[in-house]
A = this chain, B = another copy of it.
Amino acid sequence: MIDHELLRRRAQELLPDDVFGYFDGGSGAEVTLAREARAWDDVLLEPRVLRDVSGATVATSLLGQPVASPVLVAPMAAQRLAHPSGEVGVAVAARDSGSLMVLSMRSSTRVEDVGQVGPFWQQLYVLQDRGVTDEVVERATAAGALALVVTVDTPVVAGKRVGLPSALPPLGIVPALDRRVVTDERLQQARDVGPRDLERLAETSGLPVVAKGVLSPAAARDCVAAGASAVVVSTHGGRQLDGVVPTPLALPAVADAVGGEVEVYVDGGVRTGSHVLKALALGAQAVLVGRPVLWALATGGPDGVRVLLDDLTAQALEALVLSGCRSCADVGPDLVHASRR
C-alpha cells in the first residue's frame, strides 16, 4: 500500500516551491481542504459476512465505458509542470491500469496528443467566449473524448494562497488557449453559465455531459434537468468556495435525489480502498483522484502513476471483498453504520 503522504513529501522535494504550492494548496483559508482529510475516515463501515466473494471484481462500466476500477483520474491543469511527460504520461498510466483520465481544459498538452493514447473524458469550463468553448469541444470530440465533464462550480476562479506558478507552460488544447491562462478575458470562465450551456454542449457534441461540482440535491437536480448524464459531488479539491460541506456528507442526499436517473461520482480526499468502498456505499459509481496522481507523476513519471492507480484498484478490490461484496453494483448503503447512512 502506497503511503500518499510520503509521496506528497517526495514531490515537494522535487518540485519548485511555486509549482508544488499551486498544486497542493486550496482556496480561501483552506478550511475545506483541511477537513477533507478526515471526512472519509469518519464514515463507518459494517461489512457483510459469510458471502461467497470468489471472482469478485471492481471492474465496472461508466457511461457505458468499461473500466478496470471505479477510480478515475481527476482533471488537473498543467501537468507538464509536474513531469515532462505531462498529460500524455498520465493518459498512458490511466490506460495501462484500465482507469480513465479526465483531461483538464487547462491542459499543458494538445488534446490530439492525449487522444492518441486512448479514450478519455474532456473537462470543460464554459468560457466567456462560447466560440472558444465550442472549438475545445470539437477538437476534443475529434480526438476521441467519450464524455464532456463540465465544471459547474467555477463562475470565477477562487483566490488561492499560492497563485499560478511562474513556469506555467503554454497550454495546448486549442490554439486559442496556446498561451498563459489568465491573459485573455474571453478565455476566462463565464459568470453566466447556465442550464442552457449544458443542454447546448450535449446537443452539439452528441456526447454525454457530466456536471462536476455539485454539493446538494438541489444543485444535482438542476444539472440533471439541464441534461447531465452524470454528476460529480466535488469540492474542486478545496480550490473553489471555501467552507463547503465535505463530499462524504453531501453524497448520500445527492445520490438519493438523482442516483435513480444518472450516474453519481465523487472526489475530495479519496486516498484508500476503504474510502473507495465508502463512496460506493454512500451512492457513488466512481471516485476521482487528483493530487496523488500529480505526486506520483512528479516522483515516478508515467510508471509511478500506473503503480499508484493499480495500488488503489487493488485496495478497492480488497475492501470490496472484505465487505462481503462481489462487484461495485453489489455495494449498498447497508454497509454504512446508521450514524451516517
Seen from chain A, the residues whose Cβ lies within 8 Å of a Cβ on chain B are 1, 28-29, 31, 40-41, 43-54, 56, 152-156, 158-159, 161, 191-195, 197-198, 211, 213-216, 218-219, 222-223, 226, 240-246, 249-250, 253, 271-275, 277-278, 315, 318-319, 321-324, 334, 337-339
Contacts and interface: CB of A to CB of B under 8 A. Distances in A.
Contacts of A249: 44, 337, 339
A318 B337 CA distance: 33
A49 B214 contact: yes
Contacts of A274: 28-29, 31, 241-243
Given A1-B28, A52-B191, A337-B250, A219 B47 contact: yes
A54 B158 contact: no
Contacts of A49: 152-153, 211, 213-214, 219, 222-223
A51 B45 CA distance: 37
In the complex, the 3 A-B pairs of residues with the closest C-beta atoms, listed nearest first: A46-B216, A241-B322, A243-B274
Contacts of A156: 318, 321-322
B51 A321 contact: no
Contacts of A54: 191-192
Nearest to A335: B216
Contacts of A218: 46, 48, 334
A31 B1 CA distance: 14
Main secondary structure of the interface of A (DSSP, over half): loop
A223 B47 CA distance: 13
A47 B241 contact: yes
B1 A161 contact: yes
A121 B56 CA distance: 32
A339 B155 CA distance: 26
A133 to B, nearest CB: 15
Most chain-B Cβ atoms within 10 A of its Cβ — which of A50, A219, A242, A278? A50
A219 B334 CA distance: 11
B155 A321 contact: yes
A41 B272 contact: no
Most chain-B Cβ atoms within 10 A of its Cβ — which of A250, A315, A337? A337
A45 B51 CA distance: 37
Contacts of A253: 338
Given A48-B222, A216-B337, 11 more contacts: A1-B159, A29-B271, A31-B274, A45-B244, A46-B215, A46-B216, A50-B222, A52-B192, A153-B322, A241-B323, A243-B274
A208 to B, nearest CB: 17
B44 A244 contact: yes
B318 A41 contact: no
B191 A45 contact: no
Nearest to A228: B50
Contacts of A53: 155, 191-192
Given A155-B324, A219-B49, A28 B315 contact: yes
